[in-house]
Amino acid sequence: MRKQVKRFTWLFPAIFMALMLIGVSGSLAFAEVEQRINTQKAVTAEHREKARKVDEQMQQKISNTERQAAADSLKALRQQIHDYATQKYNGVDPNLEAKKQHGNKNKKNPDSKASYRTLGLEGFEFLAPPTGPRTYGPNTVPDYNTTANWAFTPPIAKFVDTLPQLCVSTDGYANENNLHQCLPVAVADTTTYPGSDYYEIWLEEWNQPMHSDMPATRVRGYVQKQSGTPTSTTANDTASDAAPRNYLAPIIVAERDRPVRVKFVNKLPVGQAGDLFIPVDQSVMGAGQGPLNADGTPCDNTLEGNTCAFYPQNRATVHLHGGRTPWISDGTPHQWITPAAETTPYPKGVSVANVPDMEDPGDGSMTFYYSNQQTARLMFYHDHAFGITRLNVLVGEAAGYVITDKYEQDLITRQILPDIGIPLIIQDRTFVDATPFPTPATATA
Ligand SMILES: [Cu+2]
């Protein structure tokens, strides 16, 4: 009973407020219609201001000279701070002092704390700016602590190359950086499988420059082969090779709830040329010997001195990272395939399955079905082969995958978002000389 009374008393202000709101919204509606007529667009002043800012930002282009100037001033600033620190501690370089103290940890020195002081952060060693020329290469003592000289990456200048950006077939993939690179957006074939976007993606190996001061680097990556709707109706058509190939491409742009179908063809070199060109730890499960002899008879790879055949290093698959994908198309560790021409007792992983309503792609190929039942997001697709996933991804078997939806498209239409966005990928890479050198390389070798 008490509860009912309470609810009843609540109703009065609620009804009153509702009546008030109807009145207010009535007059608001008039003002809004007026505004729509004035601006011819259903956007508020706030939206227009946002759109103006986005436009302004897109107009701002920074030249390489400006980037270099910024890098130079940053370097000068680091030098200034370092000089200041050196002076502050009576001419004693705080870094060298810190090192001495670390080296003398065993000796009990009551003054050690006093002489090891840092620039405000406890335990933080301030490093001097690198001073060239550096020595690096075989027989050089590795220095990880002051001026890093290891792993053979030559000293390279920052900000000299512009980032490769997305490029599209409609303007002939013209949007190149100074290294003539861009990331092509894959062109969907919409007729071969009605209701789906179909792509034919090959896996290939090539050389590509990563910096204007370095020779080209060997990569393995994905390439779209059949671009756009083919004239032929067969799903195995490989007519066009129009799109440039590029590290971390092609980018697939999918629409929410519209499936993507992929025919993936492993076109890597075979035999010895099919081996990875970076070191492979064959003691990792799946990277060394498998359960079969070269003639296909079973063997026990856990025994000493066994004769089991090694898994080929040109195995590969496609996994859509973060995708809501049925298991047959998930590119799991056991869904890899080798190139059709490879001679091996292991031509494919034990869980390989093709999409049931797609044409059988044959040896060295596999079909995938992605549901795209997800909201707008940036994902990526990459290799997932048993034992060598990390290595395959490191050499380049990865590319962007964007899902867009009606909410995102609405924001783009109203110019609140400039477009589907600028995919930004940050990687920390080490480059080694292609010429083999004796390992371990030591000062006395
Ligand atoms: Cu992943």
pLDDT of residue 169: 84
**CA 369 to ligand 1 center in whole angstroms:** 17
Total residues found in the chain within this entry? 445
Phi, psi (deg, nearest 5) at residue 18: -60, -45
**What residues pack around ion ligand 1 (CB closer than 5 A)?**
321
Specify whether the backbone of 91 is left (phi greater than 0), alpha (psi in -120 to 50) or beta: left
Superfamily of domain 162-426: Cupredoxins -  blue copper proteins (2.60.40.420)
Express each pLDDT in 62-97 by its tens digit.
Answer: 666 777 777 777 777 767 766 666 665 555 555 555
**CA 281 to ligand 1 center in whole angstroms:** 21
Helix (H) or strand (E) holding 102: helix 94-103
Higher-pLDDT residue of 144, 3:
144
**CA 104 to ligand 1 center in whole angstroms:** 45
**CA 99 to ligand 1 center in whole angstroms:** 40
pLDDT of residue 441: 41
Contact 152, 431 (CB under 8 A): yes
Express each pLDDT in 241-298 by its tens digit.
Answer: 557 889 999 999 999 999 999 999 999 999 999 999 888 889 999 999 999 999 999 9
CA 158 to chain centre: 20
DSSP letters spanning 99-126: HHHHHTTTS--TTHHHH---SSSTTPPP
pLDDT of residue 212: 86
Contact 306, 358 (CB under 8 A): no
**CA 294 to ligand 1 center in whole angstroms:** 31
Distance CA 308, CA 81 (A): 60
**CA 312 to ligand 1 center in whole angstroms:** 22
**CA 205 to ligand 1 center in whole angstroms:** 21
**What are the residue ranges spanned by the domains of the chain?**
65-115, 162-426
Using the structure block, give the residue that is written with the tokens 């995102």: 408
pLDDT of residue 82: 66
